[in-house]
């Protein structure tokens, strides 16, 4: 069951309370160590016996640096570059390093000692999503996944990795009826040769066991433990309508091939058959992705209707959403080129002046870099990027926030997740053959569900990071990518950066120290022309910051509200 419940309703704490009430054994899988600590505290408060599952990086003395930085780097490089598992690295240390690991010199590594326990001795087990692949942590227990494990069950292999791994595997398994990678790809178009390859796997490796020996001993260093999986996936993949390729593997996994670069993605769904039940918790779920991970029999239970969500957001959480644009503003990935730091920083400054406080900012990593290069610290307070929001309470007491732009991880992201379901997502075009962009983007029914999960749902997650302590917040949202049910204040502002030379004029006005001045008083202090001075002063008058009257052959200007003026530009809110 997928529990669809907005953040702050207490769903995470609720599962610990449920375990204490029922006495049933619980295993919680989540993303970060600070969330582990949170669950530990709740379990302790409920007098439950709990254990945080061991971590290779934390509990292995070689990996955590207890035996020196040199050994730590060697082990972690091997782990990251070979895709070998911690147990495989320890067992094959002699082959990999020509000697055992330091943590094995006087008995077993502490990491493996920590893994040797009886789960029945604990009411609550707490671990990372990847621990779900260990049957002992699952069997006979009630399982909870707290938030979606975005990339933790996806293995993505570059074209070079696939090419070298498959070529090495074919070269070291002479009985396979293919000589090289190109031969393998061409053979899958031939029914007889394709079946011959499938027959070989059914005889020699029916469950696609990892080729650890090949990964460790291949002379070229090009072996890979998942080479059998890559080889079988390429052999059996079927074409989708958008030219992506899709394969169902005999062990229940799925794999897809990107036609643009022939990179390969494998969805490693955890085996949960031995669990008593499985609960997924998500404040803004993409149901299709959850079903890919947990199975098509997943049932969604929404705690609130859209109307109730609207009331909860506004009345219970006290969140006021102010939308500042009708554009999608895709501010991540290749779409980050649409970031407009000049105009956006004017908006941020306008929010600061309007609210009389430095707002916090959530946006993409690439947008943050652009803003920081243009003086972001002068107008906002704390910042965070979309990729670091899961479970975060960083802005729980923040009363004014800005969410700038929406995440968009590219067309391939949408096509990849759709392909994993055997669906063909394709971009749409208008009647003139121009691709639909921004909020009009269209990838078909299934693809659009992935798009909205990537974009609208993530924007909502960002909004809900603010004011989580119950004190409420006003959140300015600089994107139109919001779920339809979110009630917005119709405050789409006019954002006008000051033209070149305006900064000199504003400084010159301050230097006069007077409430009134003549045009010539300003012209004598700046490097811009007299005509530009007049034009800029009339712009200030248009916005009500100054007034003027004609006297003689020129104008006398008066300060009306220059103390409220932004240094970067002007924001006119429609309310």
- Would you say 386 and 364 are in contact if contact means Cβ atoms under 8 Å apart? yes
Placement of tokens 């002379």 in the chain:
219
pLDDT number for residue 334: 59
Q: State residue 123 phi and psi, 5-degree precision.
A: -70, -35
The token duo for 167 is 């070529």
> pTM to 2 decimals?
0.91
Rg (CA), the chain: 29
Beta-sheet strand order (sheet of 277-282): 50-52, 124-128, 26-30, 142-146, 277-282, 2-4, 300-302
Counting every residue written for the chain, the total comes to 575
- Cα separation, 464 vs 494, in Å, equals 26
Q: What is the pLDDT of residue 336?
A: 53
Give the per-residue pLDDT at 199. 97
Helix (H, G, I), strand (E, B) or coil at 199: helix
Provide the pairing of β-strand 360-363 with 400-404: parallel
- Euclidean distance between CA atoms 207 and 196, whole angstroms: 17
Closest by CA to 111, choosing from 77, 76, 162, 63, is 63
**Any idea of the CA torsion for 237, 238, 244, 248, to the nearest 10 degrees?**
-50
**Residues whose CB is less than 8 angstroms from the CB of residue 263 and which lie 6 or more positions away in sequence, other chains included:** 156, 157, 158, 159, 162, 257
Helices (H), 295-387: 306-311, 341-355, 365-372
The number of C-alpha atoms within 13 Å of 17 and in the hemisphere containing its C-beta is 5
Q: Which residues contact 317 (CB under 8 A, 6 or more apart)?
A: 8, 464, 467, 468, 470, 472
Strands (E), 148-207: 154-157
Residue 483 is given by DSSP the state: -
Find all residues with CB under 8 Å of 214, minimum gap 6, and list them.
Answer: 168, 169, 172, 223, 224, 225, 227
Alpha-carbon distance of 366 to 372, in angstroms, equals: 10
Q: Which pLDDT score, from 0 to 100, does residue 300 have?
A: 96
Taking the chain (575 residues) in consecutive chunks of 10 residues, what is each chunk's mean pLDDT? 90 96 97 89 97 96 97 96 95 95 92 95 96 95 95 94 95 92 92 96 96 88 94 97 96 95 95 95 95 94 95 94 94 72 95 96 95 95 90 89 95 97 96 95 97 96 92 96 91 88 92 90 92 94 93 90 90 82
At how many degrees (to 10) do helices 365-372 and 341-355 cross? 80
Please report the beta strands in 318-429, taking only residues with DSSP state E, as ranges in sequence order: 319-323, 360-363, 383-385, 400-404
| pLDDT at position 353 | 94
Query: Structure tokens of 84?
Result: 């070998």
pLDDT, position 489: 86
């Amino acid at each position: 069951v997928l529990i669809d419940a907005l953040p702050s309703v207490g769903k995470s704490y609720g599962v610990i309370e449920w375990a204490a009430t029922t006495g049933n054994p619980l295993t919680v899988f989540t993303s970060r160590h600070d969330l582990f600590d949170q669950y530990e505290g709740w379990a302790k408060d409920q007098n439950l016996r709990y254990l945080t599952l061991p971590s290779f990086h934390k509990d292995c003395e070689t990996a955590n640096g207890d035996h020196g930085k040199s050994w730590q780097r060697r082990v972690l490089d091997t782990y990251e570059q070979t895709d070998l598992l911690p147990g495989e690295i320890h067992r094959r240390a002699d082959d990999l390093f020509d000697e055992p690991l330091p943590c094995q010199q006087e008995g077993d590594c502490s990491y493996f000692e920590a893994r040797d326990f009886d789960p029945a001795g604990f009411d609550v087990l707490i671990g990372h999503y990847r621990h779900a692949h260990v049957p002992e942590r699952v069997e006979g227990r009630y399982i909870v996944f707290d938030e979606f494990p975005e990339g933790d069950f996806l293995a993505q292999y570059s074209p070079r990795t696939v090419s070298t791994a498959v070529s090495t595997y074919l070269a070291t398994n002479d009985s396979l009826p293919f000589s090289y990678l190109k031969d393998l790809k061409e053979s899958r178009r031939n029914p007889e040769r394709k079946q011959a390859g499938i027959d070989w796997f059914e005889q020699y490796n029916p469950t696609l066991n990892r080729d650890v020996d090949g990964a460790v001993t291949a002379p070229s260093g090009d072996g890979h433990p998942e080479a059998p999986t890559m080889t079988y996936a390429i052999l059996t993949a079927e074409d989708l309508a958008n030219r992506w390729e899709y394969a169902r593997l005999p062990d229940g996994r799925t794999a897809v091939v990107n036609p643009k670069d022939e990179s390969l993605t494998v969805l490693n769904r955890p085996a949960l058959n031995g669990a008593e039940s499985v609960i997924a918790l998500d404040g803004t779920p993409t149901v299709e992705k959850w079903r890919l991970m947990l199975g098509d029999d997943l049932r969604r239970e929404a705690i609130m209707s859209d109307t109730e969500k609207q009331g909860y957001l506004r009345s219970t959480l006290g969140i006021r959403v102010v939308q500042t644009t009708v554009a999608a503003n895709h501010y991540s990935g290749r779409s980050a080129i649409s970031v407009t730091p000049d105009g956006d920083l004017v908006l941020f400054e306008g929010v600061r002046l309007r609210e009389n406080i430095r707002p916090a900012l959530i946006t993409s990593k690439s947008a943050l870099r652009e803003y920081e290069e243009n003086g972001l610290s002068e107008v906002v307070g704390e910042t965070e990027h979309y990729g670091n929001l899961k479970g975060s309470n960083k802005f729980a007491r923040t009363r004014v926030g800005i969410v700038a732009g929406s995440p968009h991880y590219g067309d391939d992201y949408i096509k990849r997740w759709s392909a994993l379901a055997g669906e063909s997502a394709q971009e749409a075009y208008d009647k003139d053959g121009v691709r639909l962009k921004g909020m009009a983007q269209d990838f078909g029914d299934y693809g659009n569900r992935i798009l909205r999960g990537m974009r609208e749902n993530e924007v909502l997650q960002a909004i809900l990071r603010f004011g989580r302590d119950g004190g409420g917040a006003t959140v300015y949202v600089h994107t139109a990518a919001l779920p339809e049910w979110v009630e917005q204040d119709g405050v789409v502002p006019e954002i006008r950066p000051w033209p070149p030379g305006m900064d000199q004029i504003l400084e010159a006005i301050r230097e006069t120290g007077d409430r009134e001045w003549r045009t010539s008083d300003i012209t004598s202090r700046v490097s811009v022309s007299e005509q530009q001075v007049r034009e800029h002063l009339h712009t200030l008058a248009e916005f009500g910051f100054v007034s003027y009257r004609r006297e003689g052959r020129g104008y006398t200007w008066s300060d009306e509200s220059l103390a409220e003026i932004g240094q970067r530009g002007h924001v006119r809110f429609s309310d």
